[in-house]
Amino acid sequence: MSEQLIFIAALIITLGVFTYTVIRLASFFRLTRPLPVKNIDKRIGVMMKVAIGQTKIFRFPVIGLLHALVFWGFCVILIGSIEMVIDGITGTEHALKFLGSVYDIIMASGDIFAVIIAAAIIVFLVRRFFLHVRRFSGIEMTHKSHRDANFALTLILLLMLTLLGMNIGYVAGHPGGYEGVYPASKAIVTLFSLSTSDFTHSLYKINWWAHILTIFFFANYLPYSKHFHVFMSVPNVFLSRLEPLGKLPNMDSITEEVRSMLDPETAYAESPAGEEEQIERFGVLDIEDINWKNYLDSLACTQCGRCTSVCPANITGKKLSPRKIIMNVRERMNEKGPGLVKNGKEYTDNKSLIRDYITEEELWACTTCNACAQECPININHPTLIVEMRRYLVMEEAAAPGELNAIFTNIENNGAPWQFSPEDRLLWTEK
């Protein structure tokens, strides 16, 4: 009974902290602009293919397979974690054993995946510590970012080792039979000739508590870590942009204005009495101008660097890093978000996402080729956000590069990007 009370107390603390984090993030989402969600059936298909099937991750075949196995293993092991929570609350042991053969398959899969995931995490740590992987570096990848990644991977390794230790203690402590099937743990028990003793019972109990408490800690650490994608990647893929990559979104307000100008009946129509037209900022200057999906992207970003590694601007030495753009959104929200929540949308800290975090040089280096969006394993669309920030610079500040300003002037004066009047446009045909 005392163990139950301790477990319930730990669970309540965990849920309390997690609830605080969810409320905090929800308050940040409310600061952003709305974005409609349609085509649910198509989204389910994309989610099953990209998120569950992990199809985009296989562009790096070996490491991609290891990442996919880690993801699939977590999905299976999650069922065992749910069982542990039920056992901890009720004081039972193996509460899901009534599932019979299905239970055997789940436990066997979890036991095998624990070994596979542990091996994969060791490979990932070796790559980070001893191999120079270019896409793991960059101006945005600070020492804190690397330390965070290493710590999260170490926690995952600890989860797998404690799960194996728990299974080994359980199998060794029940030579006459036990619930479930544990092929990896049974092989270890046989190899080391472990027998029933106080040691095996202690091994089981120590690892059981270490495993579940690590899960509780990990769940509350993730929202503040780069590994938040463990929670957010599947929802982010489900809510990903469905339009073709090359299609850039228009501003509804501008579209309506052009339509009204083209329609003689509405061109000079007055607004209804008592209604004042709300002036909308063009594009994105700061964090309150982004839509909720932009912020979701920043939370889900794995910081893997696949986007930056294929960016032609970055490859040719430009300052642009698509990964940095997405990471800056999260950083800026963490900085300004609390002030906006507390003081309202009029709050300012005299900083902005553009210039204080992202330079104009970075924004104009983008070719909108969409290589970054094509490569991203969780379907983040970087160019749409970059174009929105460009849109602010052009439409609010007229701060485009000189070459573009010349084009704008030609369009205004000549109706075309070229420096020729409409009357002279076909003179080349006479030569």
Q: What is the mean pLDDT of residues 233-252?
A: 91
pLDDT digits (tens, 9 = 90+) for 358-412: 999 999 999 999 999 999 999 999 999 999 999 999 989 888 888 888 888 888 8
Residues 229 and 287 in one domain: no
Q: What is the mean pLDDT of residues 84-106?
A: 92
Instruction: Look at residue 211 and tell me whether its pLDDT is greater than 80.
Output: yes
3-state helix vs strand vs coil in the chain, percent to 5: 70, 0, 30
Residues 174 and 296 in one domain: no
Instruction: Look at residue 161 and tell me whether its pLDDT is greater than 80.
Output: yes
Residues 180 and 312 in one domain: no
Residues 230 and 285 in one domain: no
- Looking at per-residue pLDDT, the higher value among 249 and 197 belongs to 249
Task: State how many domains the chain has.
Answer: 2
For residue 285, the SS3 value is coil
Does residue 431 fall inside a structural domain? no
pLDDT for position 194 = 66
pLDDT for position 195 = 64
Does residue 150 fall inside a structural domain? yes
Does residue 183 fall inside a structural domain? yes
pLDDT digits (tens, 9 = 90+) for 169-209: 998 888 778 888 999 999 988 887 766 666 888 889 999 99
Of 117, 207, 112, 205, the closest CA to residue 156 belongs to: 117
Of 364, 345, 346, the closest CA to residue 354 belongs to: 364
Residue 290 exposed, middle or buried by CB count within 10 Å (0-12, 13-18, 19+): buried
Distances (CA, A) of 352 to 288, 333, 386: 10, 10, 15
For residue 60, the enclosing domain spans 2-238
Residues 373 and 225 in one domain: no
Residues 47 and 190 in one domain: yes
Long-range contacts of 93-97 (CB under 8 A, 24+ apart): 93/179, 94/179, 94/180, 97/179, 97/180
Separation between Cα atoms, residue 229 and residue 326, nearest integer Å = 13
- Boundary of a domain, candidates 179, 208, 238: 238
Residue 318 banded pLDDT, cuts 50, 70, 90: very high
Least confident of 93-107, 262-276, 298-312: 262-276
For residue 33, the SS3 value is strand
Instruction: Look at residue 87 and tell me whether its pLDDT is greater than 50.
Output: yes
**Maximum distance among all alpha carbons in the chain?**
100
Residues 210 and 73 in one domain: yes
Distances (CA, A) of 150 to 202, 231, 250: 29, 18, 41
- Looking at per-residue pLDDT, the higher value among 86 and 418 belongs to 86
> What are the tokens at 118?
């542990």
- Boundary of a domain, candidates 238, 270, 305: 238
Residue 339 CB contacts under 8 Å (≥ 6 apart), including other chains? 347, 349
Angle between helices 61-90 and 198-221 (to 10 degrees): 110
Least confident of 63-72, 336-345, 382-391, 404-413: 404-413
- Which residues make beta-bridge pairs with 233? none
Does residue 309 fall inside a structural domain? yes
Q: What is the DSSP letter of 345?
A: T
Residues 232 and 300 in one domain: no
H helical segments located in 131-251: 143-172, 183-192, 198-221, 229-238
pLDDT for position 431 = 65
pLDDT for position 85 = 95
User: E-assigned strands of 76-169?
Assistant: none
Residues 7 and 125 in one domain: yes
CA atoms within 13 A on the CB side of 137: 6
Instruction: State the sign of the Cα–Cα–Cα–Cα dihedral 310, 312, 313, 319.
Output: positive
For residue 302, the SS3 value is coil
Does residue 425 fall inside a structural domain? no
Instruction: State the sign of the Cα–Cα–Cα–Cα dihedral 201, 121, 140, 325.
Output: negative
Separation between Cα atoms, residue 364 and residue 191, nearest integer Å = 62
Q: How many CB atoms lie within 10 A of CB 200?
A: 20
Does residue 93 fall inside a structural domain? yes
Instruction: Look at residue 297 and tell me whether its pLDDT is greater than 90.
Output: yes
Q: How many CB atoms lie within 10 A of CB 260?
A: 14
pLDDT for position 269 = 54
Which position has the token pair 């929570």? 85
Residues 208 and 295 in one domain: no
- Boundary of a domain, candidates 238, 272, 300: 238
Does residue 424 fall inside a structural domain? no
Which position has the token pair 């202690």? 202
Task: CATH number of the domain at 371, please.
Answer: 1.10.1060
Residues 81 and 146 in one domain: yes
pLDDT for position 218 = 95
> What are the tokens at 105?
């398959």
Single-letter amino acid, residue 342 = K
H helical segments located in 301-370: 306-310, 312-315, 322-343, 353-356, 360-365
- Report yes or no: 382 and 373 within 8 Å, Cβ to Cβ: yes
Residues 15 and 136 in one domain: yes
pLDDT for position 405 = 84
Rounded to 10 degrees, the C-alpha dihedral 298/303/304/306 comes to: 60
Single-letter amino acid, residue 336 = K
Q: What is the mean pLDDT of residues 236-262?
A: 85
Does residue 340 fall inside a structural domain? yes
Instruction: Look at residue 274 and tell me whether its pLDDT is greater than 80.
Output: no
Separation between Cα atoms, residue 12 and residue 220, nearest integer Å = 12
